[in-house]
């Protein structure tokens, strides 16, 4: 195992690096996959021990991972598609997929001897880092945008993390956390591409899907800000293909952004080589409202991976994602936050009018609906209240 720069291809030993010392490029963790003993890798947990936690004994730190895959049967029947699945990442311990990359990052923080950690987050990463920090007795600083939903702020604070709001968009929190980690002994667990080890945690989605499904999905649909979950998931499938010498196509990755903050989708739509910054994100889906201000190369990396997979990147309006959120709750019994619902909204928009009867798709449901209740509050529905009288109850039911 070693670090490799995706730009200049220089290799480095495993240590706490955030960027390539030579060219400032993004760093990736690479392995000599073929040297691993296949007989010892018979489950997703075996794979995690080897290719996520790197100690051949750890497969989780707080019960994260092994989330179920559920068939969205009602939705599939209505739109006449083939197999349509949801991976329920909102069932992770802190309520979102962020527990995967944070666990991988926390493991490295402990190995490197850090006692203090910092994270910039739009909310889900904040709660996750605070939870893991409490578990392992680490001091943590959590920077969130001023607009972060109260539910996420309170959750992170209740775990004991020191939560600090930062004025402006998420990028301000990101850049401030980076500066502190460069001048103080805080290990940066921000789950973009700044920490190469956190991305490894996202590979667990692919490892688990490999054993949960009879065959790989044709498409994997992922809500994205900067895109590490999409990149990590695709990396996991690539490792599986090489490791087990599988004769099957890799899934095509579909990244979904909110229209009010869609720098990667815009670059894909225009056929551009590089992603540009979005200075003023405007969307209800705060979990993916990352304008990449000061680190647009993260978006470019995700764009490259989407194209490598033969997939696409699409944006959906707040109205479309809120409709998808309501549909998932009322028809599939799945309560996810607005950011997570973009996977269904994006899948529907990408394949509208196309024959999908022979395809399978896996939608990543990234965060629980209880983490962001603002969209629910906007329904203005009045909940009735009656006296404990059966006649009153019957009259109300019959209305």
SS3 state at 108: helix
Q: Around Cβ 180, how many Cβ atoms within 10 Å? A: 17
- What's residue 365's pLDDT? 98
pLDDT grade for 25, boundaries at 50, 70 and 90: very high
Domains and CATH numbers, the chain: 1-30 (no CATH), 69-95+198-377 (3.40.50.1100), 96-193 (3.40.50.1100)
- Mean pLDDT over residues 104-132, rounded? 96
Tokens of 147: 């607009």
- What's residue 80's pLDDT? 76
Query: Is residue 276 a contact partner of residue 263, using CB atoms and an 8 Å limit?
Result: yes
% of the chain with per-residue pLDDT over 90 = 88
- What's residue 41's pLDDT? 82
pLDDT grade for 32, boundaries at 50, 70 and 90: confident
- What's residue 353's pLDDT? 87
Contacts of 70 (CB under 8 A, 6+ apart): 85, 86, 88, 332, 334
- Mean pLDDT over residues 241-251, rounded? 93
- What's residue 375's pLDDT? 77
pLDDT grade for 399, boundaries at 50, 70 and 90: confident
Enumerate the β-bridge partners of residue 69.
87
Most trustworthy range by pLDDT among 32-36, 150-154, 298-302: 298-302
Q: Over 60: is that where the pLDDT of 51 sits? A: yes
Q: How many CA atoms lie within 13 A of 321 on its CB side?
A: 29
């Amino acid at each position: 195992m070693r670090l490799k720069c995706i730009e200049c291809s220089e290799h480095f030993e495993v240590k706490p690096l955030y960027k390539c010392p030579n060219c400032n490029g993004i760093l990736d963790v690479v392995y000599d996959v073929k040297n691993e003993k296949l007989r010892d890798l018979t489950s997703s947990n075996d794979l995690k021990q080897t290719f996520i936690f790197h100690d051949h004994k750890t497969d989780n730190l707080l019960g994260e991972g092994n989330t179920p895959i559920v068939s969205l049967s009602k939705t599939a029947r209505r739109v006449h598609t083939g197999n349509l699945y949801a991976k329920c990442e909102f069932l992770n311990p802190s309520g979102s997929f962020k527990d995967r990359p944070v666990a991988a990052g926390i493991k490295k923080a402990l190995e490197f001897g850090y006692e203090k950690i910092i994270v910039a987050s739009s909310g889900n990463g904040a709660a996750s880092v605070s939870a893991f920090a409490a578990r392992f007795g680490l001091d943590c600083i959590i920077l969130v945008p001023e607009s972060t939903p109260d539910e996420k702020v309170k959750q992170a604070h209740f775990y004991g993390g020191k939560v600090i709001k930062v004025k402006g968009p998420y990028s301000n929190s990101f850049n401030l956390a980076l500066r502190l980690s460069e001048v103080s002994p805080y290990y940066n667990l921000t789950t973009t591409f700044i920490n190469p080890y956190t991305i490894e945690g996202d590979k667990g989605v692919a490892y688990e899907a490999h054993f949960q499904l009879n065959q790989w999905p044709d498409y994997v649909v992922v809500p994205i800000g900067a895109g590490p979950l999409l990149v990590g998931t695709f990396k996991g499938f690539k490792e599986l293909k090489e490791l087990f010498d599988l004769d099957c196509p890799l899934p095509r990755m579909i990244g979904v952004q909110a229209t009010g903050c869609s720098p990667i989708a815009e670059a894909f739509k225009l056929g551009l080589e590089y992603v540009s910054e979005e200075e003023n994100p405007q969307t209800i889906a705060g979990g993916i409202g990352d304008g990449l201000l000061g680190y647009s190369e993260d978006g470019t990396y995700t764009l490259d991976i989407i194209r490598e997979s033969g997939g696409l990147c699409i944006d959906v309006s707040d109205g479309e994602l809120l409709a998808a959120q309501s549909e998932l709750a009322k028809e599939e019994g799945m309560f996810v936050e607005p950011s997570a619902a973009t996977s269904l909204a994006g899948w529907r928009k990408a394949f509208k009018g196309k024959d999908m009867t022979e395809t399978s798709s896996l939608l990543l449901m990234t965060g629980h609906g209880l983490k962001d209740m603002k969209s629910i509050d906007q329904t203005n529905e009045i909940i009735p209240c009656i006296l404990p009288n059966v006649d009153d109850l019957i009259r109300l039911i019959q209305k």
